[in-house]
Amino acid sequence: MTDLTTLTLSVTLQKLRDREISSVELTRACLERIQQVDPLIRAFLIVTEDLALQQAEAADKARAAGEDRPLLGLPLAIKDVFSTKGIETTCGSKILRGYVPVFDATVVQRLYDAGMVMLGKLNMDEFAMGSSTENSAFQITRNPWCLERVPGGSSGGSAAAISAGMALGTLGTDTGGSIRQPGALCGIAALKPSYGRCSRYGLVAFGSSLDCPGPLAHTVEDVARILQVMAGHDPLDATSMPVDVPDYVARLTGDVKGLRIGLPKEFFIDGMQPEVEQAVRAAVATLEQMGAEVIEISLPHTDYSLPVYYLIAPAEASANLARYDGVRYGQRIEKGEMWPTYKATRGQFGPEVKRRIMLGTYALSAGYYDAYYGKAQAVRTLIKRDYNEAFKQVDVIATPTAPTTAFKIGQNTDDPLQMYLADVFTLPASLAGICGLNVPCGFDKQGLPIGLQLLGAAFKEDVVLRAGHAYEQATDWHTRRPVLNDEV
């Protein structure tokens, strides 16, 4: 019998519709897989076994009654940054330990409405601040391709759970690369939608002008199916845009003839791993052979993206995390008097969160606001303008997703700048508010995945999904799965 955990979401959905398998069978297979391999990977913070089986049974009854919904009976898992009614939501932080929301985030509710079976909540860097999932207050998640290496971050649990076959799809968030970069390091498809495409209501905020919920899965088609459910205007989120949502799956033609692909010189830099550049250039050559037109372009303000991001994002984090003082928000540590209590409560934040709060508070402080935060916002506008101009010439921009393959656990923990550089290729698109897709495009000599990043103009997810899907049809990188053993 086929191992159900090796199938893609789209194939599995068809098997459910053809009554070849049941949702209960499928869910039990995923739960058994979690029990088998998650002690090695540590992707899950909570496994909601009883809820999953109840929902799977309900899905089978609904299908037997003739009902069909886009994700009916499919087991998915959610990054622990989303509010989930009745299920603890910690954001990977001690300060939220024990917090059980009374409502679901809009995107989670939409997945439920589409028939999702909820497997549990996934590990992440604390408050989504990190590139390796080493900053979680609870555990370090490991990369299924090599257990000594990181899965990327902050959605490392979301990427590792897919790569290890524990879920058919997951939900993550991308503020500066936190969906795309772990997607690259774990060898899966991963999409950051345009800012405003998916509701942020019920998403615990890190950088309010940057945070984007998005899907991760084995294939581009799987990602498209999840996005179809998530996307769309939400009156509960003022930043959610009232724009039409196309039929993403119908746009996956497998054809890129006539598509103009931009290759920016600023993304092929000294210091990046040579195998990454070779694999990405080979992927672009494949698209060209398939009929796409490749055009050399320039995004001149790219070099400013890293400093701009690390002024804007920490400033927004400083403002957003100010509420966690133990009075109305956050787990209170009582020390009698107000100041010791406040200090002990805020002291629950991990070192990376504290670092970003201090950076952001400094950038926003009197006398420094104009010189730092104000200037960063002005340069952000220039970065966005670069992309607007580029998309007048091209339909898609192709770059590496990350400058290297997965690095070893602990390798960069004492060097924050080196850690921040892991997102150097994903930050610009986040600042510009455009969409970006990671697609696996090869492996290095150590057998670690390499990712191709395809960027599209705002609300042109259908274009990058079309390009990524066509590339998948011409290659087999996305079909490869890691072999897990008991050695850590």
Query: Residues with catalytic annotation?
Result: 79, 154, 178
Q: Which residues contact 96 (CB under 8 A, 6 or more apart)?
A: 89, 90, 204, 324, 330, 331
- Nearest-angstrom CA–CA distance, 179 and 200: 15
Distance from CA of residue 194 to its chain's centroid?
A: 13
What is the gyration radius of the CA atoms in the chain, in angstroms?
Answer: 21
Say if strands 117-122 and 75-79 run parallel, antiparallel, or are unpaired: parallel
Please return the burial class of 220, using the count of CB atoms within 10 Å of its CB with bins 0-12, 13-18 and 19+.
buried
Degrees, nearest 5: CA angle 276-437-414: 55
Q: Closest Cα partner for 227 from 9, 472, 446, 449? A: 9
The two three-digit tokens of residue 138, written as one number: 């609870």
How far, in Å, CA of 285 to CA of 128, rounded?
A: 35
Query: Of 167, 179, 165, 59, which is closest to residue 121 (Cα–Cα)?
Result: 167
Cβ distance 40 to 169 under 8 Å? no
- Please count the other Cβ atoms lying within 10 Å of the Cβ belonging to residue 97: 14
469-473: long-range contacts, CB 8 A cutoff, minimum separation 24:
469/219, 469/220, 469/221, 469/224, 469/252, 469/254, 470/253, 470/254, 470/255, 470/256, 470/287, 470/290, 471/256, 471/283, 471/286, 471/287, 471/290, 471/439, 471/441, 472/189, 472/219, 472/220, 472/439, 473/254
Q: Indicate the pairing of strand 169-174 with strand 75-79.
A: parallel
User: Mutual orientation of helices 23-41 and 49-64 as an angle, nearest 10°?
Assistant: 160
Look-up: residue for tokens 């670069």? 386
The burial of 94, by beta-carbon neighbours within 10 Å (0-12 exposed, 13-18 middle, 19 or more buried), is given as middle
